[in-house]
């Protein structure tokens, strides 16, 4: 913010979106839903976007307060809008902000759409005199997103089961948009909760508003101090989750994805296709094989899971970054729904989360995953491209069963071990992911990859 993310640049991008929508829909009446998170100036940026759209005679439904990304997606669908603009940098540090565009389905825009908008931004930048004047604001209407979202989520979770089970749930709202969403719906149904960070702080208490183990230390303490059965956290815009078990241990997102998929299939009786990104645990593959379900592999990015969901090809999709797609739900990440579903799973089993993990590992085996980031340099960029182009059939001293190059390069080895090297889509980094049966093998694969780039 203040360097690349400025009011001038926001005006440029929003005008580019307006031009794209006009080309797509012509002059017929249309609407855009505009939302924002709790970051510094997000509300001001949202109002600025609303004015630009109104100037273009596009109706604007502007959130009356910060709201989760999935609540905005619901409004896009409900109001038949042409799209949505959300001001959020999700789980990134507080000095960042971002502008996210969702299409009429409520899903994140696919690359072909964002490329058109980027081309329009470049065209507008050629006009040095670009300085919009807001001659009309009568197209702006403020809306409440909370009421509709809570009504939408109520029938999806067995809240009576949660209440009757006597679960005590610790909540860390991380100063974000899930405030008065996640906590309110649990309290409304008589579920016992203990809550922290349920107020607005644009600096997020001095931590990155991401549901990582490092950032959930206070939730760990809360769970242990208050004898909670479970801890649930959501990130700044409420679309990702973090889970703490009854012992105060952080549970990796890959394990939560696997536990939830097994629960939905085994207990809820769901059947259909399953999807995961290339960077996500192969425990998903083992579950799909056990129940003979089609498996789809996607590049990193929730939009690819959302596309499969909208095509009704999958009942479940997951990413290691704590993102889940569910059949019959919104085509957008939803950390609130995911967290509530974990609570329902624990209540339905009558077991603790740590017991559920142990049971799962006895059936499917245990996998250990990790990732490593390297600063991107011209030399490393060349080495990565050379690797992708040559597609070596063996790497890290192991012969590949399968090689994927849809997003970087990934080697699948025997026994569901794998190694992925890809460029970050958001930062100047090379990301290295791996999964193996042992920490020793995981470290060995990482060392081999790091040595390659040294």
Rounded CA gap, 39 and 156, in Å? Answer: 30
**Which residue shows structure tokens 């926001």?**
10
Rounded CA gap, 324 and 326, in Å? Answer: 7
Rounded CA gap, 443 and 454, in Å? Answer: 16
146 neighbors 166 (Cβ within 8 angstroms): no
Looking at the structure, tell me whether residues 25 and 127 fall in a common domain. Answer: yes
DSSP for 108-144, written as a single string: BPPHHHHHHHHHHHHHHHT-TT--------TTEEEE-
pLDDT by residue for the chain (454 residues), tens only, comes to 888 999 989 999 999 999 999 999 988 899 999 999 999 999 999 999 999 999 999 999 999 999 999 999 999 999 999 999 999 998 888 899 999 999 999 999 999 999 999 999 999 988 765 666 666 788 999 999 999 999 999 999 999 999 999 999 999 999 999 999 999 999 999 999 999 999 999 999 988 899 999 999 999 999 999 999 999 999 999 999 999 999 999 999 999 999 999 999 999 999 999 999 999 999 999 999 999 999 999 999 999 999 999 999 999 999 999 999 999 999 999 999 999 999 999 999 999 999 999 999 999 999 999 999 999 999 999 999 999 999 999 999 999 999 999 899 999 999 999 999 999 877 789 999 999 999 999 999 999 999 999 8
331 exposure class (CB count in 10 Å sphere: 0-12, 13-18, 19+): buried
Looking at the structure, tell me whether residues 221 and 339 fall in a common domain. Answer: yes
Quick one: how far is CA 14 from the chain centroid?
23
3-state helix, strand, coil in the chain (%, to 5): 40, 20, 35
Rounded CA gap, 445 and 367, in Å? Answer: 14
Looking at the structure, tell me whether residues 225 and 281 fall in a common domain. Answer: no
Q: How many domains does the chain have?
A: 4
Positive/negative CA dihedral, 15, 19, 22, 27? positive
Q: Which residue(s) pair with 168 in the sheet?
A: 192
Domain of residue 322: give its range: 252-333
**Which residue shows structure tokens 């499917």?**
364
The pTM assigned to this predicted structure is: 0.94
411 exposure class (CB count in 10 Å sphere: 0-12, 13-18, 19+): buried
Looking at the structure, tell me whether residues 116 and 23 fall in a common domain. Answer: yes
Looking at the structure, tell me whether residues 305 and 161 fall in a common domain. Answer: no
Read off the DSSP letter of residue 1: -
Looking at the structure, tell me whether residues 399 and 446 fall in a common domain. Answer: yes
152 assigned to some structural domain: no
> Which residue blocks in 1-125 are alpha helix, DSSP H?
7-25, 42-55, 69-78, 111-125
354 assigned to some structural domain: no
């Amino acid at each position: 913010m203040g360097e690349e993310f400025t009011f001038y640049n926001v005006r440029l991008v929003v005008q580019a979106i307006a031009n794209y929508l006009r080309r797509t829909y012509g002059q017929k009446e249309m609407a855009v839903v505009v939302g924002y998170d709790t970051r510094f100036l997000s509300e001001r940026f949202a109002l600025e976007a609303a004015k630009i759209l109104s100037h273009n005679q596009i109706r604007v439904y502007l959130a009356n307060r910060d709201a989760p990304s999935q609540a905005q997606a619901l409004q896009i669908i409900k109001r038949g809008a042409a799209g949505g603009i959300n001001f959020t940098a999700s789980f990134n540090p507080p000095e960042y902000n971002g502008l996210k565009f969702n299409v009429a389905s409520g899903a994140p825009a696919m690359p072909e759409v964002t490329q058109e908008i980027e081309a329009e931004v470049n065209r507008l930048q050629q006009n040095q005199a670009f300085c919009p004047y807001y001659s009309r604001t009568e197209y702006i209407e403020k809306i409440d997103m909370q009421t509709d979202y809570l009504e939408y989520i109520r029938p999806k979770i067995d809240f009576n089961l949660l209440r009757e089970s006597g679960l005590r749930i610790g909540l860390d709202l991380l100063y974000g948009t899930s405030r008065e969403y996640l906590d309110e719906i649990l309290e409304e149904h008589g579920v016992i909760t203990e809550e922290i960070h349920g107020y607005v702080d644009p600096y997020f208490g001095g931590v990155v508003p991401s549901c990582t183990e490092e950032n959930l230390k206070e939730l760990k303490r809360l769970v242990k101090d208050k004898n909670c059965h479970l801890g649930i956290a959501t990130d700044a815009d409420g679309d990702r989750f973090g889970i703490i078990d009854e012992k105060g241990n952080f549970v990796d997102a890959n394990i939560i994805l696997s536990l939830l998929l097994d629960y939905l299939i085994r207990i809820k009786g769901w059947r259909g296709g399953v999807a995961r990104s290339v960077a996500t645990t192969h425990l998903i593959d083992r579950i799909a094989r056990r129940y003979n379900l089609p498996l789809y592999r996607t590049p990193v990015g929730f939009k690819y899971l959302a596309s499969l969901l909208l095509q009704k090809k999958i009942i479940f999709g997951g990413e290691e970054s704590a993102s889940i797609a569910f059949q019959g739900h919104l085509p957008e990440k939803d950390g609130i729904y995911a967290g509530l579903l974990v609570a329902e799973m624990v209540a339905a089993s009558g077991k603790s989360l740590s017991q559920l993990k142990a049971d799962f590992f006895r059936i499917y085996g245990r996998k250990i995953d990790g990732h490593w980031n390297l600063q991107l340099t011209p030399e490393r960029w060349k080495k990565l491209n050379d690797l992708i182009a040559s597609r070596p059939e063996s790497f890290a001293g192991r012969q590949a069963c399968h090689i994927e190059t849809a997003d970087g390069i990934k080697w699948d080895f025997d026994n569901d071990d794998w190694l992925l090297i890809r460029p970050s889509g958001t930062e100047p980094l090379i990301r290295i992911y791996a999964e193996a049966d042992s920490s020793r093998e995981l470290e060995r694969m990482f060392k081999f990859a790091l040595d390659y780039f040294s």
